[in-house]
Structure 1
């Protein structure tokens, strides 16, 4: 039986809510959250989210890369990655953040009119490769930002000697910090490749409509590259790493979604 994207999104929202509540209700409990409930609900939500997203993205007329669909796609990528990471290592602080945001994307899908922006990427494989690199780079760098937030929280609690908040279900500070910089380096390389592929394969790379996106993306790349260099050669970490990671992430978010938000959400209501 074929299920509509609306029903799939509604069911995904419910499953994400269960996963979020399962973590939050026992986030600082010595035994940790009930992982069977959390990951069962999260797995169901991720699968339902994937089916709903596939139906919304791939239409009979082409690929619908509207702002909401793109946000939902990146959210799905991050949710899958953090969930898989949490199965191998403690990531309890990140789970309610990513599941909560996934709830918001599903809710937005249900209450926001669908804006159609049809593309035909099957006719332009090089552009599809550029978009794929850009999506993965953004997802990885946002994950690095989330780990940076986690590192900052754990470090703050340790400095206050508040060990009740740092349970065995949270990663050791050194491990979380190491993973943060690994993600940062991988995301920076992917972002550089995305910028290079766009410059090589997109005819309208320097067009007015794309100029602000490319300029902000390049500045974000420089910020991330500077942080990678500073960490490797100067030992930058802590507040410096946190500030630069947040700065780069904000710039990249404005680059990816700023103009599209104005065009598709704000101007559409005027």
Structure 2
């Protein structure tokens, strides 16, 4: 039964995200957020996550079969990233990341209502190897998406500190920056995300390389997706090795994170976008 399928309620998740963003932006920035308000916002995010998740499920697992494409992939990645944020925000000081994560989820939730995706072979989807690969890949990219947004936030914070920007005491940016933890704490949180995300990405990439026939029904082909996935893996691996060996940090590390993430997006989203939208092929 299509409770929240994209046929009738396709714009519900983006509408809810937009309402929450409007509410957050309308709140006075000169007031400290109370614990009750924080709990209310977390409850609202959880509710939207449930609705967005149901909608994704019903639009991907249709009566006709498994429907997937770059739009569904992006929306699912954003959903996983927001879910990780929601869970971690209960334990870690990452409230300032909330705006970026919600904007990303809002934008990505629009795409499945516009681009319908492609019907995937039900034989491949029923394979447990494929299911495991798909779940791990989605979690890894979602977690690394959160890490990339964390890196963007750190970059803004770093530039503000190095340039010693004169910001009005009551300005929005001033309060936003004041709410951030120290850069060293932010950096520690970033690499914790990267360690877990890279471990899952490694499992994704090498399971795809070693079991391509079982997962996708075809032998390994070094197409654009495989090449960009390997480039991303080597960039993340190089970053973590440099961090371990020479203590790499600062702007260089942040640029490295964003470069690796762009390659990852090109692998898991870009190839499908080119096929579906530009070439208009399944």
User: TM-score by structure 2 length?
Assistant: 0.84
Deviation, 1:257, is 1.5
Unaligned runs of 5+ in 2: none
Deviation, 1:37, is 4.6
Out of 247, 268, 275, the position equivalent to 1:256 is 268
Question: Is 2:212 the counterpart of 1:202?
Answer: yes
User: Larger deviation: 240-249 or 23-32?
Assistant: 23-32
Out of 93, 118, 121, the position equivalent to 2:120 is 118
Out of 59, 64, 68, the position equivalent to 1:65 is 68
Deviation, 1:236, is 0.6
The C-alpha deviation readout for 1:62-108, integer Å capped at 9, x for no partner, is: 22122211211111111111122223333233222221222223333
* Residues 222 and 256 (structure 1), Cα distance of their counterparts in 2 relative to 1, 3 Å cut: same
Equivalent residues of 1:223, 1:244 under 8 A apart:
yes
The structure whose RCO (Cα within 8 Å, separation 6+) is larger is 2
Structure 2 counterparts to residues 182-197 of structure 1, below 5 A: 182-197=192-207
Deviation, 1:10, is 2.6
CA–CA distance in 1 between the matches of 2:128 and 2:121? 12
Q: Report SS of the residue matched to 1:64.
A: strand
Deviation, 1:4, is 4.0
In structure 1, the residue matched to 2:12 is 11
Deviation, 1:127, is 2.2
In the alignment of these two chains, the number of paired residues is 266
CA–CA distance in 2 between the matches of 1:103 and 1:149? 18
Equivalent residues of 1:127, 1:202 under 8 A apart:
no
CA–CA distance in 2 between the matches of 1:151 and 1:27? 23
Deviation, 1:153, is 2.1
CA–CA distance in 2 between the matches of 1:186 and 1:27? 36
Deviation, 1:11, is 2.7
Q: Report SS of the residue matched to 2:239.
A: helix
User: TM-score by structure 1 length?
Assistant: 0.87
Moved over 4 A (4+): none
* Residues 19 and 84 (structure 1), Cα distance of their counterparts in 2 relative to 1, 3 Å cut: farther
In structure 2, the residue matched to 1:78 is 81
Q: Report SS of the residue matched to 1:236.
A: coil
Equivalent residues of 2:78, 2:145 under 8 A apart:
no
Q: Report SS of the residue matched to 2:248.
A: coil
In structure 2, the residue matched to 1:106 is 109
In structure 2, the residue matched to 1:156 is 159
Q: Report SS of the residue matched to 2:3.
A: coil
Structure 2 counterparts to residues 104-253 of structure 1, below 5 A: 104-110=107-113, 112-120=114-122, 121-159=124-162, 160=164, 164-165=174-175, 169-203=179-213, 204-207=218-221, 211-253=223-265
Unaligned runs of 5+ in 1: none
Q: Report SS of the residue matched to 1:29.
A: coil
Equivalent residues of 2:2, 2:58 under 8 A apart:
no
Calculate the aligned-residue CA RMSD, in Å. 2.5
* Residues 63 and 170 (structure 1), Cα distance of their counterparts in 2 relative to 1, 3 Å cut: same
User: Larger deviation: 14-23 or 238-247?
Assistant: 14-23
Out of 45, 48, 51, the position equivalent to 2:51 is 48
User: Larger deviation: 15-24 or 34-43?
Assistant: 34-43
Equivalent residues of 2:65, 2:119 under 8 A apart:
no
